[in-house]
Structure 1
């Protein structure tokens, strides 16, 4: 019996045990006490908030959300703070406007949600909008609009309902003839995927999920638990190594080492979709290995290491206290401004620009490279793996939002990687396969670009003096690319393009995961030297022409095959 057949035959029992271990909200309905200033006709803002239909945000019921927040009173306090906050989008079209906007962001210590070639999104209290406009040029004052008008409601909708309990009830009803009560909504569809990916999951459930997969598939050598290190607050940074072991050498021995693809999520704590997507892609590769020849071929030649939560302290904090927390939870030199931006904390081209030297800034990366514990733990783990014979051939760092595929370098547009043409080609194909999955358009560009993009920016003599919305030094993709020779290194910003931002409804978990899964299949096939043709033929209809995909000249194909047959000893 295959592992997949075993999974199907035992899924009811295993997942019943798994989800019975999840602490679900109690049946209490009493709301936490709030200050009189928060009362409206004898009722708190939060109580009134939950009376508003959530149809525009999520299919979850307000009753379930009410129960969740009753068990997490600190979240209620932050939700009330978000009552007066909005997210604004500025359309930025000139270098002068970009410089003016950055100056205002620094001066007012605003939270930058996203910046692309066309816009910059900022979270701000409503009462601070007027002072912000007072220091901006008129061209920006007249060129903005509100993306999210009710931030508190959008935040509340991202926390899970008790849908997992409904799934367990459904499993029981099949075996014991129990009919669920009419007032309990059942999941949209049945199956393991829906049980886990119906909602975003907290850290404890995510780690239980990883351990479950490890215990179920370790026997055949397909899955092995990975512990990257420990966070500042002492939490493990866990992941899974997925790959078909080579015949002969025992798993874990030096002779069994294969070229490796690394994929991480959760560097920024509030970007929940990145964590769920890493989990979804890992699960998709595991469950498809006996059914999809392309997946089996990839896993025969490569190990894929999935690390869903690189910032476990920050992620836990978003569940217990503040949904929109971005950084780690490490102490800084300023007592009231804890946390490091892990994506500005790595050692390659780290710089001490103003964005990184101010602890209260959301992009503060420390006063020196690797001051952030979690960044140092990942770097040490990758170095130890490399010293043990592992060759990292690709790295994907998942973020949200804006639907972009970004390639090195992040630190400057004045420098280009030696394989820039291949990086661009693969980036375009990754975006293409994500679009073919669900129709969502992903754009591609260099990670160095801020809010303004010029076609000649890479060769411009003025580029080094250009003021950017956010500094790019010390990024993870630059570090893994340059220091360890992962020649295909990308930061992928997942859904959406701003309607929800970091507060993407959970209905998007499965389609977003499927988009990246298809992109990963292309990447694996490309690294095998097939330029993605096999993965293309399996993901398109017979009337589609594989020649439409990008091609590579014979010299590059030969180099790819050479790189697969030997370890990269001169990558740096």
Structure 2
């Protein structure tokens, strides 16, 4: 009897613990309630639930207990080493640490306005000579990070027309402060939001995802990994955690696989259509990593609740890779927030890292940077010379060869500049065979994101960076060494993935790579709408209106010649007459005519 009693007691305790754990996990998935807001515990780089409260509400003992259990289940470390959280170097409330100021306070990011190809080439060559960090470049601008005492030497290498054609971005913030703000911060008594701030709809949203612990801040890899394991354990019917490669520092490249396979079919199944979404190939682009996580979370939690998402999970396997570059991502948290490349050593001991998005084998052009391992775009010494790209490609090929997978779409998330890019990246003179289809769907993605938030995303070929025509009839040329060896081109050109896109997320230069955490959820929602539109297009949900060829009179009435520089950038901002994503995407006549004109050109 005593043994039976002991067994019964043990079983009861186990059942109670399982029930308690289940309730806590459900609480995590649904997000925290509007009765509490989140803050960071001291010396911690991750979000925790505070025992502070909204006015007129109080956390119950159960809520405090469940929050603590959630933190334990997630495996949150007691502290996370980061540039912003070092106990020996922490500054005052809201102020950069001494370590951050030492590294970044003398740096500045300048935006140069280039109006000719010669200006762009001159700036490119000067940046190579001075080993400067080119953050981003567009049709008429280049953003360059440099130390303040390097401004004069840089200007001395530039033509007269660029001497005054520049201005700093982040004018209201110095770089050290912007870096500090991008890390999770600790609320002190002086910086904790007041009650009226918490109840303000502009500062406290009732939306579940907005209030979710995980998306309140950017998260380090030490938190992302247990979060991914937790997602797989909560939703075992349609979520699995897998590994898609290895890194130089022997980390695994983690991913979440979301999909449902039929189990009652005795017939051989056709290849499973698969959509791959990657982020973090460049370490400092944190918003890309958080957006992949947001997309995975949204699909996983809405399965069985949203008819659309449920059907898309049943139609496709989704592979979400938050960071293709875990080594670099960890380094941005521990040592250098603005690190871009991997951490693999090069021929120069003091210049580590390979640009993973130049390391893929399709039209690899490593000769451009082979003599400069310090370059931010260093492509390695051979195709797939970066361990991360080599192992990731091996995984993709293994899936298609041995595991009945067919990759039908590829989304590669980056930042910044708010653009939807389509192949090719390696050349502006080579046109992809399905150019018109790529442009058409790219416009649909941009449209879906704009409807989500009001933010415009331009549609442009990936090869076109800071480029200007020599004359009206001359072909455009790229002004900055770029393009070959990209993941985008490899999936499209080598693997034959029909729809491959790179999306550069927010913003357009106000913060650059240091996008404030308040943009995490809104950007994630934009990506979610783009991904849903992509999948619906692949499934054939949209019935595109067929427009007959037009005669000369219709051309003269409805079509205008684009202004200089506009013709090669097909901006989504000029799209009109489109129905919303829920009713179907129908291109108006001007858009159809423009697509045909570009195809014939």
Q: TM over 0.5, yes or no?
A: yes
| Aligned counterparts of 2:361 and 2:375: Cα–Cα separation in 1 | 19
| Aligned counterparts of 1:297 and 1:30: Cα–Cα separation in 2 | 47
Q: Which residue of 2 aligns with 1:155?
A: 179
The 5 A counterparts of 1:195-344 are 195-218=213-236, 220=237, 222-248=238-264, 255=269, 257-344=271-358
Contact 1:78–1:321 (8 Å) recurs in 2: no
Do residues 23 (structure 1) and 78 (structure 2) align?
A: yes
Contact 1:429–1:549 (8 Å) recurs in 2: no
TM superposition shift of 1:486: 1.0
Secondary structure class of the residue paired with 2:540: helix
Secondary structure class of the residue paired with 1:398: strand
Contact 2:424–2:462 (8 Å) recurs in 1: yes
TM superposition shift of 1:183: 13
Q: Which residue of 2 aligns with 1:101?
A: 123
Q: Which residue of 1 aligns with 2:33?
A: none
- What are structure 2's unaligned runs of at least 5 residues? 1-21, 30-62, 545-577, 593-601
Q: Deviation string for 1:140-181 (max 9, x for gaps)?
A: 112111113511110010000247x99xxxxxxxxxxxxx99
TM superposition shift of 1:524: 0.6
Do residues 120 (structure 1) and 154 (structure 2) align?
A: no
Contact 1:260–1:394 (8 Å) recurs in 2: yes
Contact 1:274–1:400 (8 Å) recurs in 2: yes
Secondary structure class of the residue paired with 1:502: coil
Secondary structure class of the residue paired with 2:108: strand
| Aligned counterparts of 1:382 and 1:456: Cα–Cα separation in 2 | 43
TM-score, with normalisation over the residues of structure 1? Answer: 0.78
Cα distance change, pair 331–532 in 1 and its aligned pair in 2 (3 A):
farther
Aligned match of 1:376 in 390, 398, 405? 390
Contact 1:260–1:392 (8 Å) recurs in 2: yes
Q: Which residue of 2 aligns with 1:479?
A: 490
Q: Which residue of 1 aligns with 2:4?
A: none
Cα distance change, pair 185–552 in 1 and its aligned pair in 2 (3 A):
closer
Q: Which residue of 1 aligns with 2:58?
A: none
| Aligned counterparts of 1:208 and 1:29: Cα–Cα separation in 2 | 21
TM superposition shift of 1:98: 1.2
Secondary structure class of the residue paired with 1:491: strand
Cα distance change, pair 254–358 in 1 and its aligned pair in 2 (3 A):
farther
TM superposition shift of 1:133: 0.5
Q: Which residue of 1 aligns with 2:463?
A: 448
| Aligned counterparts of 1:259 and 1:467: Cα–Cα separation in 2 | 35
The 5 A counterparts of 1:399-478 are 399-454=414-469, 466=477, 468-478=479-489
Q: Deviation string for 1:393-417 (max 9, x for gaps)?
A: 1101100000000110000011011
Contact 2:464–2:478 (8 Å) recurs in 1: no
TM superposition shift of 1:31: 6.0
Contact 1:355–1:471 (8 Å) recurs in 2: no
| Aligned counterparts of 2:518 and 2:357: Cα–Cα separation in 1 | 27
| Aligned counterparts of 1:248 and 1:134: Cα–Cα separation in 2 | 72
TM superposition shift of 1:551: 12
TM superposition shift of 1:95: 1.0
Whichever of the two has the greater Rg, that structure is: 2
Q: Which residue of 2 aligns with 1:564?
A: none
| Aligned counterparts of 1:283 and 1:456: Cα–Cα separation in 2 | 49
Contact 1:91–1:143 (8 Å) recurs in 2: yes
TM superposition shift of 1:247: 3.0
Q: Greater share of helix residues, 1 or 2?
A: 1
Cα distance change, pair 5–436 in 1 and its aligned pair in 2 (3 A):
farther
TM superposition shift of 1:224: 1.3
Q: Which residue of 2 aligns with 1:56?
A: none
| Aligned counterparts of 2:469 and 2:85: Cα–Cα separation in 1 | 55
Q: Pairwise CA RMSD of aligned residues?
A: 3.4
Contact 2:248–2:344 (8 Å) recurs in 1: yes
Contact 1:410–1:446 (8 Å) recurs in 2: yes
Q: Deviation string for 1:169-208 (max 9, x for gaps)?
A: xxxxxxxxxxx99999899356465200000000010111
- Which moves more between the two structures, 16-25 or 118-127? 16-25
Q: Deviation string for 1:44-68 (max 9, x for gaps)?
A: xx73xx46xxxxxxxxxx2xx77xx
TM-score, with normalisation over the residues of structure 2? Answer: 0.75
Secondary structure class of the residue paired with 2:232: helix
Contact 1:396–1:491 (8 Å) recurs in 2: yes
